[in-house]
Structure 1
């Protein structure tokens, strides 16, 4: 009986913890963010696949093509100095420039010397400058690039998925909309089951996967019971 009486307060504490701050929750009383049932798209952002005004930076990946000259196609990563090497043209300083400005530079370099009237296309295939932060109960929290249209499931997958301590019904997305901080709560479990739409995430979003406080409590004790099995806790 001694072991049972010692375990009871621990189990009671675990039950209480399941409703505590170990998992993010959203309420109407917050003054820091505006709680939204349906989180709208953020302020104007290149994540809406409009790269016309995007300023290229290091590690961004570009695709440069010249119509009628497939041998001049180049796909590569901008180096740390903001340069990209292109066939015939050589090294081009693309850092800080828009895709349209890079197109004009390449067109000027090719016109006359190599091609009479070059038709150049510059596309961004990976924009590191647009990134999201994934935090909380995921395997590898960190900052990840937004690659085109990215959903909440894909964002969590970029962080190598949820951890064993994750509360999949408690995933919060923070976003700036019209210069206001907003947040919405999602259930990854329901999204995976097809019961809730998988929302898009955008550059500068912060995704926080909540923790199951009870599971953390048990893990910290060093004893995680299997379903339906009791364990003896240390006194």
Structure 2
């Protein structure tokens, strides 16, 4: 089992869209038993998959020492793909981790999921705190969506610092250029500067994910956006295989 974190300290970079589409690729293309774990209080992943968090169940309760995550995991409309949805209680998770005093609590829970799932994908909150630190200790790979912007390089540097701060055996980082429009000068220059990074285009099909509440591969499988996510997932699987 391998765990992949989709993470950025900057909002509005397509993090949740990446998480949902990569989870769909894992479940549909690779046919792996996949859990998408939403750690962002907005429950964006749940929305895009048309799965609401149950109001009576607290998303933070999965981290209580006596609780099992299986009580909160929900089926989606896609084979092999399950969701652990978020809710407002996630906002207090940082404080809860400090109270528990377990630096690898999240990693331990993930280890316990290995019998059920081949891939766990984290939709991370865009913050630097104990939650992000716990994710870095649990992840085998960190995906960082980076739109072509002067601020993106700074965001990547912050993510690198956060990942390295997780410990000596920190996970590798895979930056991905997102929202790319090669008609724009800045975007062309960014691509020329980082030619080996995977790229996901700026596309109306990706924007429709929120409108249709479906991964792009479901409704536009032959689109450039769907192909880009499929190629990115292939790159992720290769990187995981290399260790």
TM-score (norm 2): 0.19
Q: Which has the higher strand share?
A: 1
**TM-score, normalising length: structure 1:** 0.19
